[in-house]
Structures are given as C-alpha cells and as structure tokens.
Amino acid sequence: MAIAPPRGKALDELRFANSFASLGGAFSERRTPTGIPGARLVSFSPEAGALIDLRAGEERRLEFAELVAGNALLDGMEPVAGMYGGHQFGVWAGQLGDGRAILLGEVPAPSTDDERDAAPGKRREPVDTWELQIKGGGLTAFSRFADGRAVVRSTVREFLASEAMHHLGVPTTRALAMAAGDEPVLRERVERAATVIRMAPTFVRFGSFEIFHYRKQHERVRTLADYVIDRFYPECGDEADRYARFFTAVVERTAALMAHWQAVGFAHGVMNTDNFSILGLTLDYGPYGFVEEYEPGFICNHSDESGRYAFDRQPTIGLWNCYALAEALSSLISKDEIEAALARYEHVYRATFLALLRAKLGVLDARDDDADLALELFRMLEARRIDWTNFWRALSHDDATALTLLGDDESSRAWLERYARRVVDDPRGDDERRAAMRVVNPKYVLRNWVAQEAIAACEAGDDSVVNAVLDVLRAPFDEHPNREAWAHPAPAQYRGLSVSCSS
C-alpha cells in the first residue's frame, strides 16, 4: 500500500517573492531584521500556517524558531520596511513608516480552496499570496527615536487578538507565530523582547497614500494605486473609472469592518489612518479591548484622553478616515466620484450591522422595527451594565437564562415578550434557531484580563497559558468546561487594568 506524501510544504520549500519591494526605494527601504539571540518559540497558529501551505510539524524545527525570532531568513526573502504617513488622533503626523515591522516577503497561497480554515461567520475571499511581516525585528529608517523592538506584553496581545478576531468572523490580519527572549527592552519598565510574524495579503494602509499626496508626489499615489488595484482589486478593471471603483470598494469594506467590530464588542483604541488597512482588515493591535459591561462610550486606550476612539465613535471615525483617504486620492478621482463613494458608507454600515444583529437575535427575515428592538435592548444593557458577550450567549440558550442576566423585572419581561413575538413565525424549531445563534454569539472573546494572565506567565517563561488561551480562541463558540472562568468579566484583581498606546 502506497503511503501518501506529507501534506503541505517543508519550511525550505516555501517560495518567496516581494512585489511591494519591487516598487522601489520611494516606497520602502531594504532592512534585515535584528534578531533576538536565544529566543524561544512561544506559540504557533496552525490555521495561519495552512494559509501558506506549511506542513504540519514544521513549526517544531529550530529553523522555524530562528525565522520567527528574526535570527534567520529563508531563500528568496527580500526584507523591507515600508514608508507611510498618517493622521494620528485627527492631526496630520507627517512621515511615519514601519518603525518596528519588516516585510519579509510574500508566499503563494495553496492552489486549492482548503476548507481547513473555515470558521463560523468567516468572510472567505480568494487570496493569491500572503505577505509575512516580522514585528519587533529591530531598528529601521522609520523608527525615529524608538528601538524597533516589541515586548512580550504587546506581542502576546497582537498574536492572540489576530487569531481571535479571525475565528470570530471579523476581517483581520493574521498571526503565524511568536517568539520571546531575554533581551531587555525599556518601556514604562524593563521588559523582555519578543517578535511576531503576522500575515496579510498586503500591509498597505491609508497612510501609504497620504504620505505621497501631502508631498505632492501624485505620480507615486498613482503608482501605488495601480499596484493595489492590479493585485487586490482586479474587479475594478483598467478603464478610466478604476480609481473611483477602487475607492468605493475600500469605503464599503471599511464600513463593513466597523459593523463587525460593533457586533462583537471590539474597540480598537488607535484608529489612526496609518492603522487602517486598504483591504478593510483589522490592523495593528495595540490598546484594544472587548466591551465587558456594556458602555457605548467605552474607552479602551488609556492614552485617548479625549475619547476620540471610544467604542460608540468607531463607525464615525471609520468614515472620517475614508474622507482622509479621499483627500489622498483626490489627484485620481473627481469630487463627484468621491462624494458618490463616501455616500455608500452609511448604507453599507447600517445594512451590515443590522444583518449581524439579526443573526445574533436568531431571525431570518428583515423587518422595519428591528433597529428599534435592538436599541431598546442596548439601552437596557447600558443602564444595567450587563456584559455584552455574556448576554448574547445567554439569549442563545433560552429566554429564562437571558432574563436572569438582565434581572427579572417588568421591563426585562416586556422586552423578552416583544422578542418572542418577533421570532414566533420562524420556520425553524426553537432548538434549531438557538443552535444557529450559538454559532454567531461567542462564549469567549479575548478579555484583557485573560490576555494579562497569558502575558504574566509568558514573561515568567511559562508559555502554556498563551497556548491554552489560543486553543480556546480558536473555537470561541464552543464550550470549554475547564476554561469557564475565561468567559467571565474581570475578577477584582484585574478591574483596574488599563492599556495604552505602548501596549
């Protein structure tokens, strides 16, 4: 009997190119990572590995750990650091760029549509290549006064959040693996250096266009737009209106992304234009947080003193950032085309958010008063400080569980009665309908206190908690009886936990 060959490619069989680097020195600088000697591999995402057809078990090789730690490159890699600008907290900040991230190269995706990576609610799109970028790989020309390093704290948070959001069905960059070492790095305190290899079809962002627009280098705006359209938006064609069609698609993807954030209760924390992906992906995980006690004005970033990026302002800021991108593309698109594209934002946001809410409520059809039903619920959750994730999960089981969480009083019963009338005509039985709700309403999200437990253990040299958290977040809709505590709001010792831009 013939033995089937191993599935996937060995590490040294991966074939790298770097189409972004081929744009030239105006867009990036060549830069070899500065590795972390003696670093250990902390964790690896098998689903992310499957995206580049990496053979199972390759992550156990020493060569893989050396790659993740920035101590080695693979054949064909052409590492570069990208240049971009950005509006930070609403103010044009000028040139920024990859100060601690280095693009290693791009790898072809498997030629077959591999369903190993399917997840409930996940938006599946054809992807030809995946860029691999190391974060924490040392100084670049864009590091300014920083050291180009990442620390265990920020790296654990980015690694876990990237994979958590994917498995929640939210468009996001991915994280292949992370490594940690003993090299000291000074932040608010002395911490330890770490690296993560993250993945996306491209890391081009709104600010990548802004920097050339504000320098009046409009031909470079066009060059970059042509590159992005040809590789990632081929449906925009090659006619004169291709730039308008491209901008419209970015606006629509951004609006849909904001709807996904609001539906899962995710607050990004630093929605600067340099942190907004041109593909509509969640990009750059820093001081993020998932809403626990429902508070529309939740501010997850301790550095955001004005609350510009509060949870309930995210959809508005998403639109603001689209206006900033419109300005950057104004040498390619007419004013009328810009206005027509921006007009799509509110429609797409509202339609996507309502569709996600209907799925969370377990209803199949759309009715005019669904928004009112949801708003009435939101007001109750806010007034009673109910945990966002736990309420939706409770409603996915039965009304009695939801009533217990809301509090058994007249207003709670009135809303549940209204909800019961809304779903009475559903052709599915109640058990089937609730089961469908449980594959869109997660039991587990990455609560900051859970991330902190993983960080503390990793800083002490124990990587088991990071891996245990990852295992739960890979299946957030399932029950994990041994990890029940991670589905609960922060215990008392973590209630003062805060995160800032250095997180």
Amino acid type, 276: F
Q: Report, as residue numbers or ranges, the catalytic residues.
A: 274
187 CB-contact burial (10 Å; exposed 0-12 / middle 13-18 / buried 19+): middle
- In terms of DSSP H, where are the helices of 124-178? 152-167
Given a contact cutoff of 8 angstroms between Cβ atoms, the answer to whether 256 and 354 are in contact is no
Cβ–Cβ under 8 Å, residues 177 and 63: no
Over 422-489, what HEC string results? HHCCCCCCHHHHHHHHCCCCCCCCCCHHHHHHHHHHHHCCCCHHHHHHHHHHCCCCCCCHHHHHHHCC
Tell me which residue has tokens 């997660």: 442
Cα–Cα dist 292/444, whole Å: 11
Instruction: List own/partner pairs for 481-490 with CB under 8 A and 24 or more apart.
Output: 483/444, 486/444, 486/447, 486/450, 487/389, 487/390, 487/393, 487/443, 487/444, 488/390, 489/292, 489/293, 489/387, 489/390, 489/447, 490/292, 490/447, 490/448, 490/449
DSSP β-bridge partners for residue 266: 290
Question: How many CB atoms neighbour CB 383 within 10 A?
Answer: 10
Of 405, 391, 400, nearest to 361 by C-alpha is 391
Give phi and psi for 316, each to the nearest 5.
-65, -40
Query: Which positions ≥6 away from 274 have C-beta within 8 Å?
Result: 84, 85, 86, 87, 88, 93, 96, 205, 206, 207, 284
Calpha distance 177→65 (Å, rounded): 9
